[in-house]
Amino acid sequence: MRTKITVPAAGMSSADWDGVDPDIRERSFWTAREGCYARVQGFRDRCQGIVDGNLSEADALREVRAMLRATGYQPEPGTEGTIQDLNSDARQRLILDTNVAMVRERAYRDSMLGSLAYPAQRLVRIRYSRQPRDWDAR
């Protein structure tokens, strides 16, 4: 999370971001259609707090709501209460949960790099078979 660059994405939907180079997307912290740097940075700071263990999700949501009020956020007409509205609980959770999960998955992947086991897979029996295979012999 610390290495990500805050990018205001005014007018860019998540579909528009799909066309951006994956390396740029991975290094950027953005929120679809949000062009205010302070708001995007506010979400990033709360995600960082969750990742660091300094904020619970409930505290982060409370701080996000206060940050949106402080920056004078108003949803676009017709989007009030929808996933496009930053004031909606669903949008706030989507932003926080998605970004925190991405950082945690990246950290897990990075921790596995260099491991002798990565990216090895192991065959395991999930169900009983009438004629089990002798995997050691194979």
Residue 94 lies inside a defined structural domain of this protein: yes
Per-residue pLDDT tens over the stretch 6-59: 999 888 998 999 999 999 988 999 999 999 999 999 999 999 999 999 999 999
Domain count, the chain: 1
Q: Which domain holds residue 53?
A: 5-112
- pLDDT given at position 83: 94
Residue 66 lies inside a defined structural domain of this protein: yes
With 80 as the cut, is the pLDDT of residue 117 above it? no
Cis before residue 77, ω within 30 degrees of 0?
Answer: no
How would residue 68 be classed by pLDDT, with cut points 50, 70 and 90? Answer: very high
- In this predicted structure, which of 25-39, 51-65, 78-92, 101-115 has the lowest mean pLDDT? 101-115
With 70 as the cut, is the pLDDT of residue 118 above it? no
Residue 136 lies inside a defined structural domain of this protein: no
- Taking a C-beta distance cutoff of 8 angstroms, is the pair 8, 34 a contact? yes
Which residue is associated with the tokens 């951006």? Answer: 20
3-state secondary structure of 95: helix
Residue 51 lies inside a defined structural domain of this protein: yes
